[in-house]
Structure 1
Amino acid sequence: MARNNAFYHRFLDLNAASLNVYSKNIIKRLWVSLKALWILIFLKDRNIFIHQGSLLVLFPVFLMRISFLRKVVFYLLNHLASRNRLTLEVNDLPYEQSIDLELDVDYTYKLLQDGFYTIKGCHYIFASNAMAEYVAEKYSIQGKYFKVIINGAPEVSNHTVIFDEQKWITSTSTKYVYAGSLNKGRQIEELLAIFKENENNLLIILGNNGEWLKEIDLPTNIIYLGNFEEKEAHYLVSKCDIGIIPYREERFYYNLCFPTKASFYLTAGVPILTTPLKELQQVFKDKKALLFVPFINWHTTIKNLDNTEIIIMKESAKKIKDSYSWKAILNENKFD
């Protein structure tokens, strides 16, 4: 949603017309769907930009399980691309993602991706280099038809008054932070185990789906703050020393994606401890703001990382943080 919002405001600056296909109101949603279908059928000689997620809202998966309806949708998209310059923005690969995140794997997503990435003459924007390389090779998409725009993050806002009561902010212990989804199975349990044995360091946790953390007995050096709006979460992250990305390096999809966490931490001026993921190693090659360590070695690394090394990492993060704001990333890319 942060990515969608960033693109939305970028296009507002360009005075582009926009259509939000999602609404909780069923009648409004049907009306917007009819407008979207009109665009697919009749629009001509325009530049059209579509978030892949919007297509999944406009054409729900339960309907796309029907072969005939899928064929109609793919026909309309090819028709649209033949009469306009169509760009499809690809933030995720739901099929591959569901496998690695151990979610329910719905083969319909693969069928949809097969259709989306074979639209003749369509242009694509991918959220990571590795994802672009994978999809381009798999579906034979020529280089001139795709580009990469990685995930950015906002600039830090001041929420000092709101969070005056957060006593951990003034702690002299090294503060590690995990900001993101807290579903079980995302190495959160392993993180808790690591910091239970590293009592001299704080682990600050914030994000959605973390209610289960309230039901377990956490040691005093592990603090679950809850879920926050993006700006508030960003401010809290800026008060920490090191952001962490504990994704399993052996999993395929984690190596394809560019974690939003990376830009979120960096724009807050916070360096990163991460597993050696392909995409991050490619983007941040030779950058001292990131420390790449296999997850199996995190216990030792967190225990032994000294203040001098952290200061060097922080200085490096401050030098590059502006480059990973949404403003900087989108200003580098023209939308004709």
Structure 2
Amino acid sequence: MTVSTSSTRRTGTGGPAPAPAPQPQPRRIGWGQRMSRFDLKVSPYLYISPFFLLFGIFGLAPLLYTAYVALHQWHPIGGKGDFVGLDNFTAVLQQDQFWNAVGNTFSIFLLSTIPQLVVAVFIAAVLDSNLRAGTFWRMGVLLPYIVAPVSVALIFSNLFAEQFGIINTLLGYVGIDPIPWTSDVVPSHIAIATMVNFRWTGYNTLILLAAMQAVPRDLYEAATIDGAGRVRQFFSITVPMLKATITFVVITSTIGGLQIFDEARMFGPGGSGSGRGGPDGQWKTITLYLWEVGWNSANFGRAAAIAWLLFLLILLVGVVNFLLTRRISSQGGDR
């Protein structure tokens, strides 16, 4: 009897030979899966692209164009003139009015930003303590922010008027001489800083309040069990947890504080404003000086140079504020 070797092939041990393992077939990716992967990789960039498009059109392009204008003689009617290089920057830096505007800007900036941050943190802490009718108080805090700057200037110009102002009238009742709010340097800076604080303190308060409400309540409960009081909890828990938010508020306050225009432009007797920052430029800010050079003197090239100097100044002060705020808040968190 013969056995077919093709049907049953024997191995050396007498058992049947194992069948060859099937080769894995390449898996085909469907069109839907490909689109899903493409969407997963590309969609984050599409979500953030509107910001960069708007920034490029309304932020970066005007900035670069301003730099181009600053390198030329430029008249509002005649347009571009000769290329002058850095002559506009040199001419601005040699002007006493520019340095006077820089000093006024920093004075108003310090008088507004520091008290504004302190008061905003305090009000946010009060609103975070479960007040009754909390929504009403939050809306009341934000109300000054939505008031038009012109209206604020009209109100405060009447409050700080030298002859018939409400503040000088009240000071006269207690035997204090009238304060020259629109004549002297420091009183005018205090008055303008008060307007700035009135408008922006509520805005910063709500930002800080949102950050405070995000702090885990378990930390406060544990601190209470350990015997820590409200003040100790505020400085040991709340302030360190607000590090990033405080840094953001300081940076935005710096950018806005160094670009003060509306309040300084409209401040004056009856809210009319002088347009020149006072009779002797007592409260002339950099933006007021820029406006005066650009429109009154009809020198767009030099005005563009002032704008770029202001941009560099804001950038420098913003970086310094960022580093100082981060260092102070980090040290507070370590303690």
Query: Given the two structures, how large is their TM-score scaled by the length of structure 1?
Result: 0.22
Query: Given the two structures, how large is their TM-score scaled by the length of structure 2?
Result: 0.22
Per chain length, whose mean CA-contact separation is higher, i.e. which structure has more relative contact order (CA < 8 Å, sep 6+)?
2
- In proportion to residue count, which structure has more helix? 2
- In proportion to residue count, which structure has more strand? 1
